[in-house]
Amino acid sequence: MPTGSPELSAADLRERARVEAVHALGLLDGPLGPDVEDLVRLAAEVCDVPNAMLNIFDDHWQHSVATFGRQPPSIPLEAATCFPVLLSGIEMITGDAREEPRIADHPYVNGTLADLRFYASVPLITEAGHVVGTLCAYDLDRHEVQPAQIRLMRALAAQLVGIFELRRAVAQVEQIADRLADETERADAVLASSTDAYFAARPDGVVTAWNPAAEGLFGYRAAEAIGQDLARLIVPVGDVERFRGLSLEHARERTDLRKLAHRKDGSELMLGLRIWPNHAHDGWHAFARDITELDAAERERDAAEERWRVAFEAAPVGVLVSDLTTLERPLVVSANRKYTEILGYSLEQLQVVGLAGVIHPEQVDQDLAAVVRLLDGSLEVYRVDKRYLHADGHVVWGRLTASIARSGDKVYMISQVEDITTLLADERARERAERLLTIAFDHAPHGTAIIGVTDQDRGRLLRVNPALVDMTGRDDLAGSHLSDLLDPDPESRTDEMLARFEQVAAGELENLDRVCRLRAGHGYIFVQATITLSRDLEGRPEHALAQLRDVTAQQAHEEWLTRHAKTDELTGLANRLAMRERLEAEIDDLRFGHGALAVLMLDLDRFKAVNDTLGHEAGDELLLQVAEVLLNELPAQALAARLGGDEFVVIAPQQSTTGAIRLAERIAAAVDELGAQLSDRMTGCVTCSVGLVTTENPATAPQDLIRAADQAMYRNKRNRNRARDAVVSI
C-alpha cells in the first residue's frame, strides 16, 4: 500500500484516511467482543463452511481479529487473498476460487500453500466510504453459491460496520458527557470555594443558588435563602422595589454597580455587585463583595493627601520637584526640609539660583544628557552618586534618584537626594580593610567565591579565587550567576540549592552546608559547599562567602553504593527497596488529585520449565527480555521493578482504569510473544499472569496494594486471564 511522500497523491490521501478510520474505530485496540465473534460464527453457518474470519487492514498488514475455525496469523496486505476486495471495495464470492481470475493464481488457491475452493469475502465499508476490513468465509471443498448466502453475508458485513460505528459514537458521547460533568464539577467547586459571595435568581427575584461565601457575607444559610425573594433578604425595606428594577435592568448584560445592603443580623454593608444574565437558565447571576472599607477609604482620600504632604516634609531624604515643561528654563517648584538642610539653601533661594546653581560644574553635562533621556522616554529612572555645591561652597556627595511625572501639559522631575558624604568616607575605609583580605582570599586552598545577596546583585559571583577557576576549568565565573556555576541537570536538584541560597540571601539562614554539582569542563564535579552569610553593621545581609571543596571521588563511591542497593543485579530494573520507596511517594502524591495510581503484579507461567529444560542462562535471558518489554511499554512516569525470581511489579501513576487495563494487556501480549519464541524448544508456552489494582486513596498502605495486586494475579493465573477480569480498586 502507499506509504506517503512529501507530496501525497489523491490515492495516498485516501489510503491515509482509510487507515485513520481503522484506528479511530478502535478495531486493533484489543478483542472486539462476543457479539462480533457471534457474527463471524454466523457467517460460517450462513455459508455452510467450517471457517470464517473478520479481517482488519492497517497500512501494511491484514489482521484476523475474530475467527471461527482456523486462526490464521497476520499477513502482509499484498499476500492476503482479500487484497483485491480492499483495493476495489467490491465483494468476491465464488464456489470455486480457481475460477475467480483475481485470486486463481494465489498461493492459497493454486496449491502452493493451500487449496481454497469456496471463498466469500465481503468488504466492511464505513459511512465515510472507507474499506476497513472484510468478512470472509472459506472452505477447501467446492460449494454452489446461493443468492441467500450473498444477501446474508452483505447483511452481516453491514451489521459489523454498524456495531463499530455505534461503539465509536457511544464512546464520543461518553467523552462529551464526562467533559461536561467535569466542567460542571469544576464550576461548582470554584463557586463553593470562591471568597466572593455568589447567588443566582429567577427573573422574579427568587433565589436559586447561594454559595458558602454568601452565607458568610449575609448570615443566611443556603437552605434559608434559596426560594426566597432576594430583595427582601438583603435590601433595606424602603429600597426593595428599586433594587428589583435595577436587577432586571442590569441582568440583560454584565454590569458592575454598588448597593447598600443589610445582613441577617440587621447590620449594613456596602456591596460591590457584578450582575450578568444566566443564559442556561432564565434569570441572572451575581457576585458580591463587601466594599464597606473601600467606600470609607475613598471618603478619607482628602485626609490621605494631607498626610502625604506631611510625609513629604518629614521624608528622611531630600525631595525636590522641578518644572521641566520648558527645558531651557527649568523651575524649582518645591523642596522639602531635608533637601534644604543637605544643600543649605531655603526654597526661595533655590528658586533664585535654580538647578544649575547647586550642581558641581563637572557634573552638568552628564546630568543634562540624563534629563534629555528621561524626557524622551529612553531612560525611566536616573540614578547616580554625584557632587553638589553647598551654599557655603563645600562639596556634598548625594545619591540621586530622578524620574519624570506628567500632569496634563506639565512635565515635572521628581528628585530624591540622600546625603552620602559620610557613607562614602566609610566605604573608603572598608575598601582599605578589604584589601587586607585579598591575599588570604586569593590563596585559599579550596574554591572560594563572594556571592551577592542584595537586590542589585543577588546570586552574582562578585569575586572568585584562582582555586575555583582551576577546579572548574572556567575563567568566566566572575560576574556570572550562581545558577551558571551549578549543574542544570534535574538530578542535581539545582532548584533546591538556589531556593536554600535565597533563604541565606534573605537572612533567614546564616549557613548553608550541602553537597552539590558544579559545571566543570564538559562535565561536572561534586563539591561540599559551605555558604556563610555576612551582615553589615546594621545586621542587614551584605554578601555570602562560599567555600567549595571537591568531593567528586567520595560522592561517586556513595552513589555507587546507593545504586547497588536499589537496582536488580540481573535486569537493571528497580529492586524491592526502590519499588517500596517509589510506591510510598506515589501514594503520597494522590493527595494532589492528579488521577488514580495503578499497580501491576506480573508472574511468568511455566518459567521453571524454561530453567529445567533450557537451562538457567536461557531463563536469565528471558528475564532480561521481559525487563526490556516493560521498559518499552511503560509510560515515562511509570516504574518497573523485579521483586525476585520471575515476579515483576509495575507502578503507573496518573492512570485511568481503562488505561491501566490496556497497559496490562500490552505487557501480557508482548511477554506471550517472547514465550512463543521458545515454544519450538520446549513443551508448552511461557505466558504471564497479571494482577491489576488501582487506588485514589492517599491513605492506602503500600503493602495492601502489593497484596491486592498479588492476589488478583493469582486469581488470573487460575482463571488463565490477563488483566481485564482482575481489576481491583482500593
Residue 115 lies in a domain: yes
pLDDT (0 to 100) of residue 6: 60
Same-domain status, 478 and 587: no
pLDDT (0 to 100) of residue 724: 45
Same-domain status, 22 and 132: yes
pLDDT (0 to 100) of residue 432: 79
The CATH number of residue 242's host domain is 3.30.450.20
Same-domain status, 209 and 272: yes
State the virtual CA torsion across 568, 572, 574, 575 in degrees, nearest 10.
Answer: -10
Same-domain status, 342 and 412: yes
Same-domain status, 259 and 408: no
Residue 175 lies in a domain: no
Q: How many domains in the chain?
A: 5
pLDDT (0 to 100) of residue 729: 65
CB 249 within 8 A of CB 237: no
Same-domain status, 150 and 200: no
Residue 69 lies in a domain: yes
Q: Which residues of 325-342 are buried (b: 16+ CB within 10 A; e: fewer)?
A: eeeeebebebbbebbbeb
Of 523, 538, 557, which one is at a domain's C-terminal end? 557
Of 138, 170, 202, which one is at a domain's C-terminal end? 170
Same-domain status, 275 and 335: no
Residue 429 lies in a domain: no
pLDDT (0 to 100) of residue 628: 92
The model's pLDDT over 143-188, given as tens digits with 9 standing for 90+, comes to 898 898 889 989 888 888 888 888 888 878 778 777 776 776 776 6
Same-domain status, 529 and 405: no
| Angle, CA of 514, 517 and 522, to the nearest 5° | 165
Residue 304 lies in a domain: no
Of 241, 264, 298, which one is at a domain's C-terminal end? 298
The CATH number of residue 716's host domain is 3.30.70.270
Residue 3 lies in a domain: no
Domain of 477? 442-557
pLDDT (0 to 100) of residue 184: 61
pLDDT (0 to 100) of residue 280: 66
Same-domain status, 367 and 457: no
pLDDT (0 to 100) of residue 721: 55
Which residue numbers in the chain have pLDDT < 50?
Answer: 1-5, 723-725
Q: Which helix (H) or strand (E) holds 185?
A: helix 147-193
The model's pLDDT over 106-150, given as tens digits with 9 standing for 90+, comes to 999 998 888 999 999 999 998 888 999 999 999 999 989 889 888
Same-domain status, 284 and 146: no
> How many other C-beta atoms lie within 10 A of the C-beta of residue 714?
15
Same-domain status, 277 and 392: no
The model's pLDDT over 191-204, given as tens digits with 9 standing for 90+, comes to 777 788 888 888 88
Residue 314 lies in a domain: no
Residue 608 lies in a domain: yes
156 to each of 41, 63, 162, 538, how far by Cα in Å?
Answer: 11, 19, 10, 90
Q: Which helix (H) or strand (E) holds 164?
A: helix 147-193
Same-domain status, 600 and 542: no
